[in-house]
Structure 1
Amino acid sequence: MADPAPATLPLWRQPPFLLFLSSRVLSAFALQMQVVAVGWQVYALTDSAFALGLIGLVQFVPMLLLTPVTGLAADRLDRRAVTAACRAANGLAAAALAAGSLAGWLDAGWIFAIVALFGATRAFEMPASQALLASVVATKDLARANALAASTGQAATIAGPAAGGLLYAAGGPAAPYAGVAALALLSAVLVLLIRMAAQPRPRGRVTLEVLLSGLVFLRARPALMGAVTLDMVAVLIGGAAALLPVYARDILDAGPWGLGILRSALAVGGLAASLWLAWRPLGRRAGRSMLRAVALFGAGTVVFGLSESLALSVLALALVGAADVVSVVVRQSLVQLGTPDEMRGRVAAVNSLFIGTSNQLGEFYAGSMAALLGPVAAVVLGGFGTMTVVLLWMRWFPALRAVDRLEDVTPHQSPGHAAMRHTLP
C-alpha cells in the first residue's frame, strides 16, 4: 500500500488524521459516559454484581458470532462508511435508552437488549476503525499515530466517566444517555468527512477459508499471536472495571460521582503513558516492554483490590491504566505493521474479538467471581493471575519477547508470509 499523500507533513497537520482523531475522541467520550450510566443504572435496578457481569456478556456474544463477517466487511467495504454507520447506530440506541428512562419503561431486560445492539455495532466498528487508521497515516508514523490516538482517547476517557457520573447525579440516567447520542452522531459525521486516496478492495467468492483467514494469518506469526492473546488473557482474568460500581458504592462509599472518578483514574494513567509514548516512542525491546507492562497491570490490580481508601484506589487504577496503554500500543502497532492492507480488516476483527473477550467477557467473569467469592477476593486473585500469565507467555511465546523495534516490523518478516502472499483471499 502506498503511503497517504500528506505523509510529508507532521501528524498533527494532516487533515485525515486530525478528523480521525477528533472522531475517536468524541466516540471514546460517549462510550465512557454510556458505561458509567449503564453500570450505575443496572446496579441500582438489580443490586447484583452478577448483573453487572451480564452487561459484558450480552455485548460479547454478538461480537463472537459476527467476527468472521465484520472482518470481511472492513476489507471489502469503505471503512469510513462502516465506522460512521456503527457510530450513528450507537447514537440512536443511546437515544432509546434516554427515552426509556424518561418514560419509565426501561428495566434491566431492556437495557441488556440495547447493550447487545451496542455489542453488535462495535463488532463491525472496531476492525473497520483500526484498519482505517493504518490507511490515513504513513507506515513510518503508525506507531506514533497509535500513541496519539491512545492519548486523545484517554483524555476523553478522563472527562467522560466524570461527566457521565455528574450528569447522572444531576438529571438521572436520561441525561448522560442524551449526551451519548449527540456525541456518537457527531462522531459519525466527522468520519465521513475524511478524505484519502481510494484503496483497492479484494473481491471474490466468500468462503469459509476467506472468513477464517484472519485467524490463520495470526496463528502463523507467533509474535503477533502472543501479543493479542497475552492482552486478552491478562485483562480477562485481571480486569476489575466491571466491579467499580460495587467498590464505589459498597467499599469506598463514594456514590456515582466517585464511580466517575475511579473510571477517570484509569484514563489519567493511560493518558500519561500515551503522551510519553507519543513524545518518546518505544525504542528497543518493545516485546519485553509489553510483558513488563502487563505484569504492572496485575500488580496495580492487586493494590486496588485490597484498598479501602479512595486516594489509594485512584493511584492504583492510574498505574493499571498506564500499563494497559503501553500494552495496547505495542499490540496495535505489531498487528497493523505486521499485516498487509488487504488483510487488515480480517486480522483486526480477530484482534477485536480478543479485545472483546478480555473486556466484555472479562466483565462477566469478574461479576461471576465477585458473586461467588466477594469483590475483594475476585479482584486480588485476578491481579495475581495476570502476573502468572506473564510468566507463562514469556516461556510459550519467545518470539514476542524477542521483538525489538516496532518500526522494523513488516508483513514480510514473519516465516510463511511469502507463501501466503499469493493465496490471500
Structure 2
Amino acid sequence: MSHANLDTDATPPVRLLSHPGLSLLLLSRGGSSLGYQMQAVAVGWQIYELTHRAFSLGLLGLAQFAPMVLLIFVAGHVADQFDRRRVAALCQCVEALGATVLAAGSLLHFLTPGLIYAVVALLGAARAFEGPCMQAMLPSLVPAALFPRAAALSSSMLQTCTIVGPSLGGLLYGLGAPVPYVVCTAMFLVAACMNGLVRMESPPRPARKVDLDAVFGGIRFIRANPDILGAISLDLFAVLLGGATALLPVYAHDILHAGPVALGLLRAAPAIGALAVSLVLARRPISGGAGRLMFAAVAVFGIATIVFGVSRSLPLSIGCLAVLGGADVVSVVVRSSLVQLRTPEEMRGRVSAVNMLFIGTSNQLGEFESGSLAALVGAVPAVVLGGVGTLLVTLLWMKLFPTLRRLDRLEAS
C-alpha cells in the first residue's frame, strides 16, 4: 500500500493533501456532504411550510433512520466484500436521483409530505451503504501514525461543507424550492466521479458467505473492546438527548422570528465551531489525555445545548451552536481514531457500519425524539431537557467505562 512517502513524524495538514488518493476521497466526501447539507435545509423548511407541525420534522429523521437500521449490517458486509469505491459511487448516484425527484416535484407542484418522506427514506438507504465504505477507505490511504491528523483534516473538510451547505441551501431556497435540489444533484454526481478516480491498493479479501456470523461480526468486535464501545455509545446517547438540529426550523420561524436565511446560518453554526476545532486538531493532534478530553467536550456540548434552548437572541443562539459543534468534533476525532486504528482492515467495513448505526441513531432518531418531545411539551423544554440528559449521561458513562476515562493515547499500545 502506497502512502506517497509521507513523513509520519512531521507532516503538516497541507502536505497530507498532496496524496492524490486522499485528496480525491476528501473531494468525494465533501461533495456528498455539501449536497446532503443543502438538501437537509431545503427539505426541513419545505416540509414545515407544508405541514406547520414540529412532529413532521421528527418524521424526517425517522424516515432516514429506518432504512439504516434495516440495511446497515448488510452494508458493512458489502463494504468488506466488494470494491468500496464503486459501492460508494453507486450510492451517490442514487442520492442524485433522489434530489432530481425533489427538484421535479417542487417545480411541477406534485411534491407532497408523503413523497418527501419516501425520497428521504431512499436517501437513507443509499447513505447506509455509502457511509461504511467511505469511512473504511481513509485508513487505507495514510499510515496509522498520521490517521488522527487525516481524520481531523477530513472533519475540517466536512465541516467546511456543513458551513457552506446550509447557508447556501437557505439562500438558494429563497430563489425557489427547485433550485437547491438541482444543485444537490450536481454535487452528488461530482462526488461519484471523484470517488471513481481514487486509486488505492487493498489486500485481497477472502470470499465470505452472507450469514449471521459474518454480518454481525462488527458487533462482536466492538463488544470485546470496551473503549470503542464506550466512545460510540457515549456519542449515541449524548447527541440523541442533546441534539436540537431537528427543531431549528421551529426556532428560526416561531422563536427567533427569522426566515430561511437565518435557518441556514443556524444550521451552519455548529460546523463553524467544529471547523475551528478540527483545524486545530489537524495541526496539533490529541497526544494525551484523550479520554478525559472527550468527556469534558461532551459536557460542554450539553451545557451549550441548554443555553441555546433558552436563548431568544439570534447571535447568542448562533454562538451556542458554534460552541456545541466545536465540542462535538473532539468526540468525533477520538471515536473515529479508536474505531479505525484498532480495527483490522478486513473488518473495517462491518465495524464502521456499527459505528455509523450509532451515529445515525443519535442523529436521525434523535431528530424524531426531539420533534416528538417538542410536540408534547414545546420546543424550548425539549431542548433544555435534552441538554440536561446529556450531562447526566456523561457522568454515568465516566463510571461505566473507567478505562475510557483514563485513556491516554488513541493508538493501540
Which bracket does the TM-score occupy, shorter chain normalised?
A: over 0.9
1:324 corresponds in structure 2 to 328
Could you tell me the TM-score, scaled by structure 2's length? 0.97
Shift of 1:3: 6.0
RMSD: 1.1
- Supply the AA of the counterpart residue of 1:231: D
2:261 corresponds in structure 1 to 257
The equivalent position to 2:313 in structure 1, one of 309, 316, 322, is: 309
Matching of residues 71-110 of structure 1 within 5 Å: 71-110=76-115
In structure 2, what is the Cα distance between the partners aligned to 1:236 and 1:272? 24
User: Number of matched residues?
Assistant: 407
In structure 2, what is the Cα distance between the partners aligned to 1:373 and 1:100? 34
Contact conserved, 1:30 with 1:160, CA < 8 A, in 2?
yes
Could you say what secondary structure the match of 1:202 adopts?
coil
Q: Which moved more, 1:7-16 or 1:291-300?
A: 7-16
The equivalent position to 2:238 in structure 1, one of 231, 234, 239, is: 234
In structure 1, what is the Cα distance between the partners aligned to 2:101 and 2:327? 36
In structure 2, what is the Cα distance between the partners aligned to 1:158 and 1:146? 18
Runs of 4+ in 1 over 4 A off after TM superposition: none
Could you say what secondary structure the match of 2:135 adopts?
helix
Contact conserved, 2:29 with 2:134, CA < 8 A, in 1?
no
In structure 2, what is the Cα distance between the partners aligned to 1:364 and 1:283? 37
Contact conserved, 1:4 with 1:196, CA < 8 A, in 2?
no
Where do 5+ consecutive residues of structure 1 fail to align? 414-425
Contact conserved, 1:301 with 1:320, CA < 8 A, in 2?
yes
In structure 2, what is the Cα distance between the partners aligned to 1:152 and 1:397? 31
2:156 corresponds in structure 1 to 151
Could you tell me the TM-score, scaled by structure 1's length? 0.94
In structure 1, what is the Cα distance between the partners aligned to 2:5 and 2:208? 32
In structure 2, what is the Cα distance between the partners aligned to 1:285 and 1:253? 43
Matching of residues 40-119 of structure 1 within 5 Å: 40-119=45-124
1:418 corresponds in structure 2 to none
In structure 2, what is the Cα distance between the partners aligned to 1:59 and 1:333? 26
In structure 2, what is the Cα distance between the partners aligned to 1:3 and 1:298? 42
Could you say what secondary structure the match of 1:206 adopts?
coil
In structure 1, what is the Cα distance between the partners aligned to 2:258 and 2:2? 49
1:136 corresponds in structure 2 to 141
The equivalent position to 2:274 in structure 1, one of 270, 274, 284, is: 270
Q: Does 1:363 find its partner at 2:367?
A: yes
Shift of 1:204: 2.5
2:210 corresponds in structure 1 to 206
The equivalent position to 2:344 in structure 1, one of 340, 350, 370, is: 340
The equivalent position to 2:295 in structure 1, one of 288, 291, 294, is: 291
Could you say what secondary structure the match of 1:13 adopts?
coil
Identity of counterpart residues, as a percentage? 56
Contact conserved, 2:3 with 2:19, CA < 8 A, in 1?
no
- Supply the AA of the counterpart residue of 1:281: P
Shift of 1:5: 4.9
2:28 corresponds in structure 1 to 23
Contact conserved, 1:101 with 1:174, CA < 8 A, in 2?
yes
Please give the per-residue CA displacement for 1:125-165, whole angstroms capped at 9, x wherever unaligned.
11110001111111111110000000111111111101000
In structure 2, what is the Cα distance between the partners aligned to 1:6 and 1:119? 38
In structure 2, what is the Cα distance between the partners aligned to 1:247 and 1:207? 46
Where do 5+ consecutive residues of structure 2 fail to align? none
